[in-house]
Amino acid sequence: MIIGIYPGSFDPVTLGHLDIIKRSAKMVDKLIIGVLNNSSKHPLFSVEERVEMIKTVTKDLENVSVEAFDGLTVDFAKKRNATVMVRGLRAVTDFEYEIQIAQTNHAIMPEIDTIFLTTSVQYSYLSSSIVKEVASYGGDIEKFVPESILPAVLSKFKAIRRV
Ligand code: ADP
Domains of the chain as residue ranges with CATH:
3-162 (3.40.50.620)
- Residue 126, ligand 1, Cβ within 6 A: yes
Residue 148 phi, psi (nearest 5): -65, -20
Give the mean pLDDT of 38-66: 94
The pLDDT value recorded for residue 38 is 80
For residue 3, how far is its CA from the centre of ligand 1 (angstroms)?
A: 19
Confidence of residue 9 (pLDDT cuts 50, 70, 90): very high
Does the pLDDT value for residue 88 go beyond 70?
Answer: yes
HSE-CB of 30 using CA atoms within 13 angstroms: 12
For residue 142, how far is its CA from the centre of ligand 1 (angstroms)?
A: 19
* Alpha helix positions (H), 26-149: 47-57, 73-79, 92-108, 128-136
Q: How many angstroms separate the CA atoms of 161 and 145, rounded?
A: 20
Confidence of residue 148 (pLDDT cuts 50, 70, 90): very high
Instruction: With residue 30 as reference, give the H or E element that holds it.
Output: strand 30-36
The pLDDT value recorded for residue 160 is 77
Give the mean pLDDT of 42-63: 97
Give the mean pLDDT of 68-97: 95
Q: How many angstroms separate the CA atoms of 86 and 38, rounded?
A: 19
Residues of the chain with pLDDT > 70, as a percent, come to 98
- Residue 87, ligand 1, Cβ within 6 A: yes
161 classed as catalytic: no
Collapsed DSSP state (helix, strand, coil) of residue 99: helix
Does the pLDDT value for residue 147 go beyond 80?
Answer: yes
Does the pLDDT value for residue 92 go beyond 80?
Answer: yes
How far from the centroid of its chain's Cα atoms is residue 46's Cα?
A: 14
- Report for 60-64, 88-92, 152-156: range of highest mean pLDDT: 60-64
Give the mean pLDDT of 125-140: 94
Give the chain's mean pLDDT: 94
Q: How many angstroms separate the CA atoms of 17 and 154, rounded?
A: 18
CB atoms within 10 A of CB 155: 10
Helices (H) and strands (E) in the chain, counts: 6, 5
Ligand 1 nearest-atom number relative to CA 88: 26
